[in-house]
Amino acid sequence: MNDLSLPIYLDYNASTPTDPKVLEEMIPYFSSKFGNPSSIDHYFGSEAQKGVALARERLASLLGCNPSEIIFTSGASEADNLAIIGCAKANPEKRKIITSAIEHKAVLRSVEYLSKNGYESTILPVDTYGLVSPDDLRDAIDENTLLVSIMMANNEIGTIQPIVKLATIAHEFGAFFHTDAAQGVGYLNVDLTQNDIDLLSLSGHKMYGPKGIGALVIRRRSPRVKIEPLIYGGGHERGIRSGTLNVPGIVGLGKASEISKTLLSTEKKRLESLRNHFFSSLKSSLDEIIINGHSKKRLPHNLNLCIPGVRNKALQYSLREELAFSTGSACETGNVQSSHVLSALGLDE
């Protein structure tokens, strides 16, 4: 991103560029190592399979899980659908799902689908910083709750949820816990040996990997969460997600995971200081500027601002030659309505 003729890119929550080292590792899997990783009886298949196995190990090492607990998907949207709808399909005895008002639409629409099909759903509110209250979860949860799905960190305002506490509460009531960690993995310490998370979704293109690849981690805990597939076919990924594996994408995600693991703590500090410097520079000339979200419990690379009296779209348009920033989630294609996340904080249009 060093081409000075281009606008400055400030939209890393929407997508990150693919790290050149990631791209370099991916390229052979489009050419000399193009084989199908299921064709392990010959050289080409087994080369592809080795690439997938290494990527699985690298991702598992970043997350503190077992490589066999990883199911590769097309991204976090598919992983969220698989976690929520797949869990409901496999465990029909319990009929209640709890989530929060500021989740990504991949979670909210999956829960909505289940509500239309006879499930009870509870959407927890958030406070003015975007935090879910563990007490609200405790009030809403009961023995009929199958799954609690709360994101690790928000894609618009960067608020980091008290995931460890929320997952513990879910388990106290015998419910499974899913977190959409698409914005957290690669930026926050995620150690699955240290919490009660059963299901975790992530996405390659939020962490300097390629687009079109992600994963659902299905922890092997007791009791073990069962997941019914959404895609049937050749039984890939332990029968949970059929379809020939996206080998270059998986290899890229694996390399991005390896890089994240080595750089995590230095990157966190670097990004935080750049973000803080940017904010204080703006604040020094625009005193009335307001920060949306939490000042501390926040992703290191996220800033969400309100400039009273300035229309976001007008600002975006007038600065388009110089700056690329977003006024809401890029994950809602072409949606020009106001952000459901900012509305949930109590902000008006």
Ligand X SMILES: Cc1ncc(COP(=O)(O)O)c(C=O)c1O
The contact set with ligand X (CB under 6 A) reads: 75-77, 104, 106, 151, 155, 180, 182-183, 203, 214, 331
Residues near 268 by beta carbon (within 8 Å), at least 6 away in sequence = 187, 188, 300
- Whether omega for the bond prior to residue 223 falls within 30 degrees of 0, making it cis, is yes
CB of 107 vs ligand X, minimal distance in Å: 7
Least Å from the CB of residue 76 to ligand X: 3
**CA-CA distance, 194 to 332, in Å (whole number)?**
33
Q: CA 138, 140, 142, 145: dihedral to nearest 10 degrees? A: -110
Q: For residues 47 and 160, which CB has a smaller minimum distance to ligand X in the complex?
A: 160
Instruction: Report which residue's Cβ sits closest to ligand X.
Output: 75
Sheet with 145-149, strands from edge to edge, namely 70-73, 214-218, 199-203, 176-180, 145-149, 96-100, 120-124
Least Å distance between CB 180 and ligand X?
5
For residue 323, give both structure tokens: 């700056």
Enumerate residues 6+ apart whose C-beta is below 8 A from 280.
Answer: none
Residue placing its CB nearer to ligand X in the complex, 33 or 298: 298
Place of tokens 């969400």: 304
CA distances (Å), origin 296, targets 64, 131, 133, 159: 25, 12, 16, 9
Q: Which of 65, 87, 306, 331 is catalytic?
A: 331
Instruction: Tell me whether residue 94 or residue 240 sits nearer to ligand X (CB atom).
Output: 240
331 annotated active-site: yes
Shortest Cβ distance from residue 161 to ligand X (Å)? 11
In the complex, the smallest distance separating the C-beta of residue 293 from ligand X, rounded to whole angstroms, is: 14
Q: Which is nearer to ligand X, 145 or 201 (CB)?
A: 201
Residue holding tokens 């999956």? 110
Nearer to ligand X, 289 or 330 (CB): 330
Residue positions annotated with a catalytic role: 331
